[in-house]
């Protein structure tokens, strides 16, 4: 990676503070959430968790333990990408913070154990002792609170009692989604789609493919496709603006929902789904 491709995002290291001691409340007590609020939903080892975007906008990283296993929940407001990873490398836990740096407009994490930098969208360390190591991505759902609560009534929800003074009722990125262009430079761009078109991206056997939400909205709720020689099924819920992808055996695969410009910047060889 060319060093000049890494830019300062504004706040310094830890100027956007990660949540390292998350608190959770039952669904019935999450009265600060409206049905249409966006959340990242994770089910892991029998536990369901909801991480509201209105909180993640201010923190971007939650270091958590779900089902007895360390995980890290990440969200980049500039790329619209919410991604969860196993937070272990070679059997050892890593805890992550916000570096204050960006690559392809995407947040760069750093781990406090080795001070390595990690690109969120690729999940790969780009500097430091962990250079080249990739974190294992988990299935996470980007959807509405109403949808997640209906499917997981026993879910627990990240509390606004984070230990920080933030106005979680205010969106610090209001208007960004309709602003047209990314705020920071990217190394690769493609005019096939508007930069902030939302896509579901997946990589299988080294082959990347993007499923634009406008194309999915013109298709059936469930469609079959092939990526990297593997048969997949994509299911799209237009009401809650959420897309999921499954293999031939019905197992859900880890994909990334985010803006087209961000997906393409990291996957310039990506194919793009078009509705018949």
As a whole number of angstroms, the distance between CA 202 and CA 122 comes to 11
What is the reported pLDDT for 140? 97
- DSSP label at residue 14: T
Domains of the chain: 3-158 (2.102.10), 189-272 (no CATH)
What is the reported pLDDT for 240? 97
What is the reported pLDDT for 206? 94
Q: pTM score > 0.75 for this model?
A: yes
Q: For the segment 208-251, what is each residue's pLDDT rounded down to a tens digit?
A: 999 999 999 998 889 999 999 999 999 999 999 999 999 999 99
Distance (Å) of CA 167 to CA 6, 61, 97, 114, 272: 29, 17, 21, 32, 38
What is the reported pLDDT for 181? 87
As a whole number of angstroms, the distance between CA 206 and CA 193 comes to 22
What is the reported pLDDT for 217? 96
- Print pLDDT tens along the chain (276 aa): 778 889 998 899 999 999 999 999 999 999 999 999 999 999 999 999 999 999 999 999 999 999 999 999 999 999 999 999 999 999 999 999 999 999 999 999 999 999 999 999 999 999 999 999 999 999 999 999 999 999 999 999 999 999 999 999 999 999 999 988 888 989 888 999 999 999 999 999 999 999 999 999 998 889 999 999 999 999 999 999 999 999 999 999 999 999 999 999 999 999 999 998
HEC secondary structure over 191-215: CCCCCCCEEEEEEECCEEEEEEHHH
What is the reported pLDDT for 3? 80
Contacts 24+ apart (CB under 8 A), 127-131: 130/89
* Both structure tokens of 88: 């272990």
What is the reported pLDDT for 2? 77
Three-state secondary-structure class, residue 134: strand
């Amino acid at each position: 990676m060319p060093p000049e491709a890494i830019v300062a995002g504004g706040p310094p290291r830890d100027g956007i503070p990660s949540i390292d001691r998350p608190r959770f409340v039952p669904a019935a007590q999450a009265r600060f959430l409206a049905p249409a609020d966006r959340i990242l939903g994770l089910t892991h080892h029998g536990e369901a968790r909801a991480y509201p975007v209105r909180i993640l906008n201010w923190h971007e990283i939650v270091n958590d333990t779900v089902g007895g296993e360390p995980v890290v929940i990440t969200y980049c407001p500039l790329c619209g990408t919410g991604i969860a990873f196993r937070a272990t490398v070679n059997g050892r836990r890593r805890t992550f913070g916000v570096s204050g740096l960006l690559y392809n407009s995407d947040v760069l994490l750093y781990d406090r154990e080795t001070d390595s930098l990690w690109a969120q969208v690729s999940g790969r360390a780009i500097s430091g002792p962990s250079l080249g190591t990739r974190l294992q991505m988990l299935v996470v759902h980007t959807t509405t609170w109403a949808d997640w609560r209906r499917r997981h009534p026993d879910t627990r929800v990240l509390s606004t009692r984070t230990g920080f003074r933030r106005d979680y009722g205010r969106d610090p990125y209001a208007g960004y989604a309709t602003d047209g262009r990314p705020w920071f430079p990217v190394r690769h761009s493609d005019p096939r789609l508007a930069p902030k078109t939302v896509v579901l991206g997946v990589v299988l056997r080294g082959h990347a493919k993007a499923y634009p939400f406008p194309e999915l909205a013109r298709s059936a709720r469930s469609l079959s496709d092939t990526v990297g020689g593997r048969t997949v099924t994509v299911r799209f819920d237009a009401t809650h603006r959420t897309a999921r992808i499954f293999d031939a055996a019905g197992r859900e695969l880890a994909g990334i929902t985010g803006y087209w410009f961000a997906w393409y910047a990291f996957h310039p060889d990506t194919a793009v789904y078009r509705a018949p």
